[in-house]
């Protein structure tokens, strides 16, 4: 399929500027930007005049099937939320629940301009099936928890490599499989070392939670005399491309370790505020050469998958934290949600910017609305005025996934009802 987006307000994210341009898509790739070659025959022409056209947003940290737990356990502190409400319910999860919960989140993400996400959870075959039928792009990891070389922990690791064999580069190349050691407080040192050792043959990316709450960091100092980040460095995991969610409570030495090991920090401001875990030092991390990407976390700690909200939080919170309004300016916040996410996910050659030769993951934002006027600075408008509901068209891998606000690959209404049914059945199982 050849697509022509004509005469649009293009933000490539390579430069801090919006230009008026055409974009040509051939099959899954961006074929040209600018003049339309004489020989180009489009199958579909989209008039781009009233739209900002930009790279799809990348949700760099989430657990999408947790949409089943949206509004199930609110206004609780982090530890009781996780251990007394979420984990007992997750014990009762079945594959079909995860499938419909994943689809519910995928519809929500597509509608809000997310074209790629980074997920750690259980029943990842079912998440992969949901990815395949919807046409979204994803990095998937089976969440790993356990002790040493226990049979149960090793079985989970075996499952991760099976997921890799079954799904890596599948679904038209949309899926990338990685390893998901949940956190240093749920995986002991032996297990983290085993994960690192077994990964030597595969070299998969690592997706982990690190230094999220004050309790996690205090416990780590008490038990091991070092921070969670110092502890994980010693297991050898950071020799792989690592994505560390949260990193809220960190020392200068932690920042040095993250920077020296090219670990990406996945910042989740909405989740960190809702669970009252604090604010990551995003400006300081960036100034020290750390790549910082943005995520929503699961929709039980957020409670949505709205990257426009996270972009807005990233820009506002960091100004408020430092009393410095120039911190995390609009373009920097947008980079966190696009190219920085692509780098984190090992996909910077593929996505994150609109460039000839990259995969066509493109969103079009309808700016013929009151909150986009007057038009002093459209880059600022994306961060400070836009909302997820302004996303009108979504193209992923060269395929039109949402057209004129309607998701074309999956049935939104059916998914909402099925997911609700599964959520009610799940809660019944615990009662
Ligand atoms: C082992 S699969 C993923 C695991 O992570 C849990 N989870 C969701 N949100 C958070 C968070 O903010 N911190 C730590 N763990 C989280 C989820 O419930 C799954 O059990
Ligand atoms: Zn998380």
Is pLDDT above 90 for 149?
no
Quick one: tokens of 151? 């049979």
pLDDT tens digits for 9-40? 999 999 999 999 999 999 999 999 999 999 99
In the sheet with 242-246, reading across from the earlier edge strand, the strands are: 57-62, 114-121, 137-144, 175-181, 206-210, 242-246, 264-267, 292-294
Q: What's the token pair of residue 40?
A: 């180009």
**Cis amide bond preceding 410, omega within 30:** no
Q: Say if residue 90 carries a ligand binding annotation.
A: yes
Closest listed ligand to the CA of 146: 1
pLDDT score at 344:
99
Residue 332 known to bind ligand = no
pLDDT digits (tens, 9 = 90+) for 280-330: 999 999 999 999 999 999 999 999 999 999 999 999 999 999 999 999 999
The answer to whether 138 touches 174, Cβ cutoff 8 Å, is: yes
Beta bridge partners of 406: 403
Q: Which of 298, 300, 301, 310 to mutate to test the pocket of ligand 1 (most atoms within 8 A of CB)?
A: 298
Q: Given ligand 1 and candidates 61, 63, 78, which is best to mutate, with the most ligand atoms within 8 Å of its CB?
A: 63
CB atoms within 10 A of CB 416: 15
Q: Is the Cβ atom of 61 under 6 angstroms away from ligand 1?
A: no
Q: How confident is the model at residue 148, as a pLDDT? A: 87
| Environment class of 7 (CB within 10 Å of its CB; exposed 0-12, middle 13-18, buried 19+) | middle
**What does the pLDDT read at residue 224?**
97
The answer to the question of whether 375 is labelled as a binding residue is no
Q: Is the pLDDT of residue 431 over 90?
A: no
The pair of three-digit structure tokens given for residue 96, joined into one six-digit string: 């079909």
Mean pLDDT of 55-84: 98
How confident is the model over 112-123, as a mean pLDDT? 99
Report the share of the chain in percent with pLDDT over 70: 100
156 Cβ below 6 A of ligand 1 = no
- CA-based nearest residue to 285, from 269, 267, 301: 267
Whether 142 is in the pocket of ligand 1, judged by its Cβ within 6 Å, is: no
Q: Is pLDDT of 67 > 90?
A: yes
Q: Is 179 in the pocket of ligand 1 (CB under 6 A)?
A: no
- Residue 184 in contact with ligand 1 by CB distance below 6 A: no
pLDDT tens per residue across span 372-420: 999 999 999 999 999 999 999 999 999 999 999 999 999 999 999 999 9
337 phi and psi angles, rounded to 5 deg: -90, 0
Q: Is the pLDDT of residue 258 over 90?
A: yes
Interval 259-288 mean pLDDT: 98
Residue nearest to atom 3 of ligand 1 (CA): 121
Helix count (H) and strand count (E) of the chain? 16, 17
In the reported structure, the alpha carbon of residue 268 is separated from the centroid of ligand 2 by a whole-number distance in angstroms of: 8
Cα of 338 to ligand 2 centre, how many Å?
19
- Please provide the average confidence, as pLDDT, over all residues in the chain: 98
ipTM: 0.99
Q: Give Cβ neighbours of residue 245 (< 8 Å, ≥ 6 apart).
A: 61, 207, 208, 209, 210, 212, 266, 268, 295, 297
């Amino acid at each position: 399929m050849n697509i022509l987006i004509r005469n649009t307000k293009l933000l490539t994210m390579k430069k801090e500027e919006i230009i008026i341009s055409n974009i040509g898509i051939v099959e899954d790739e961006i074929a040209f930007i600018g003049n339309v070659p004489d020989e180009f025959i489009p199958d579909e022409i989209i008039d781009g005049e009233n739209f900002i056209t930009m790279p799809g947003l990348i949700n760099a940290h989430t657990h999408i099937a947790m949409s089943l737990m949206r509004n199930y356990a609110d206004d609780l502190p982090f530890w009781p939320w996780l251990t007394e409400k979420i984990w007992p319910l997750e014990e009762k999860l079945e594959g079909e629940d995860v499938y419909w919960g994943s689809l519910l989140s995928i519809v929500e993400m597509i509608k809000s301009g997310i074209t790629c996400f980074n997920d750690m959870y259980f029943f990842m075959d079912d998440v992969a099936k949901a990815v395949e039928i919807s046409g979204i792009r994803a990095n998937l990891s089976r969440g790993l928890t356990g002790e040493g070389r226990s049979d149960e922990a090793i079985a989970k690791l075996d499952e991760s490599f099976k997921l890799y064999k079954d799904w890596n580069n599948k679904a038209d190349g949309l899926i990338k499989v990685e390893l998901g050691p949940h956190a240093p407080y749920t995986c002991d040192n032996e297990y983290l070392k085993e994960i690192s050792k077994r990964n030597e043959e595969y070299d998969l990316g690592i997706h982990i939670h690190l230094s999220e709450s004050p309790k996690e960091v205090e416990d780590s100092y008490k038990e091991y005399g070092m921070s969670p980040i110092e502890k994980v460095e010693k297991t050898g995991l950071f020799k792989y491309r690592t994505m560390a969610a949260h990193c809220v409570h960190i020392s200068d030495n932690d920042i040095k370790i993250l920077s020296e090991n090219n670990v990406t920090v996945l910042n989740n401001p909405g989740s960190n505020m809702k669970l009252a875990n604090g604010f990551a030092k995003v400006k300081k991390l960036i100034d020290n050469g750390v790549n910082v990407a943005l995520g929503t976390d699961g929709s039980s700690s957020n409670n949505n998958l709205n990257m426009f909200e996270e972009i807005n939080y990233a820009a506002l919170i960091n100004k408020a934290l430092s009393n410095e309004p120039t911190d995390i300016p609009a373009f920097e916040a947008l980079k966190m949600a696009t190219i920085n996410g692509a780098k984190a996910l090992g996909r910077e050659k593929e996505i994150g910017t609109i460039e000839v030769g990259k995969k066509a993951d493109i969103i079009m934002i309808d700016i013929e609305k009151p909150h986009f006027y007057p038009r002093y600075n459209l880059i600022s408008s994306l961060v400070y005025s836009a909302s997820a509901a302004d996303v009108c068209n979504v193209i992923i891998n060269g395929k039109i996934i949402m057209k004129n606000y309607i998701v074309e690959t999956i049935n939104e209404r059916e998914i909402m009802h099925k997911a609700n049914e599964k959520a009610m059945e799940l809660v019944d199982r615990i009662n």
